[in-house]
Amino acid sequence: MVLRLGDTDPTALAQLLARYGLRLELLAADAAIPGSYWGDSEAGLRGSCLYARTDTPVHSVLHEACHFICMSGERRAQLDRDAGGDDDEESAVCYLQILLAGELPAVGRARLIADMDAWGYSFRLGSTGAWFAQDAQHARQWLQRFAILDGAGGLSGGCRT
C-alpha cells in the first residue's frame, strides 16, 4: 500500500510546499478534490493551492506540487486542474518529487520510489529507482536549466525561472 497523507505529518509537507509559494489545503475525508486531474483521492491544483485529503497518496501531492514548481509563470497564473507540459517537463517533475520526498522525514526518497513503482509510474529501465540512479541526467539538467536545482544538483527552493 502506498503512503497516504494521513500517515505523515501534513504540517511538514505544508511547510515544504510553502517554500515554493504553494498552499496545502486539507479537505474532509468525503470531499471532492478541486482541481484533481485524475479524480478519486488524487491531489488537485488550482492556482497556488494544492488540495488533498488524508487518503491522498503522498506521491500524488508531491507530483502535483512539482508540476506547479516546474511550469512557466504564465501557466501557473492560469492553473486549474491540467498542469500541461511536455515529456521533458514530466521527467523533471518525477525527478523533483523524489528530491522533495527526501526533505520529508516521514517519507524519504526510497519510500517514494517504492510508491511510484507500486502506483505504476513507468520508466524505460523498468523501475523508478533504476531510472533515478542511472537514466535521469536529462531531467536533472532540465531542472538546473530552469534554476529549480542549483549547479550541484541541490534544491534551489524556487520555482521555474
Same domain membership, residue 93 and residue 141: yes
Question: How do strand 23-26 and strand 49-52 relate by DSSP bridges?
Answer: parallel
Q: Quick one: angle between helices 87-101 and 109-119, nearest 10?
A: 130
Q: Give the dihedral sign, CA 118/42/79/8.
A: negative
pLDDT, tens digit only, all 161 positions of the chain: 999 999 999 999 999 999 999 999 999 999 999 999 888 999 999 999 999 999 999 999 999 999 999 999 999 999 998 888 999 999 999 999 999 999 998 999 999 999 999 999 989 889 999 999 999 999 999 999 999 999 999 999 999 98
Give the C-alpha separation, 116 to 118, whole Å.
5
Residue 12 has a pLDDT of 95
Residue 10, domain extent:
5-57+71-77
Same domain membership, residue 51 and residue 94: no
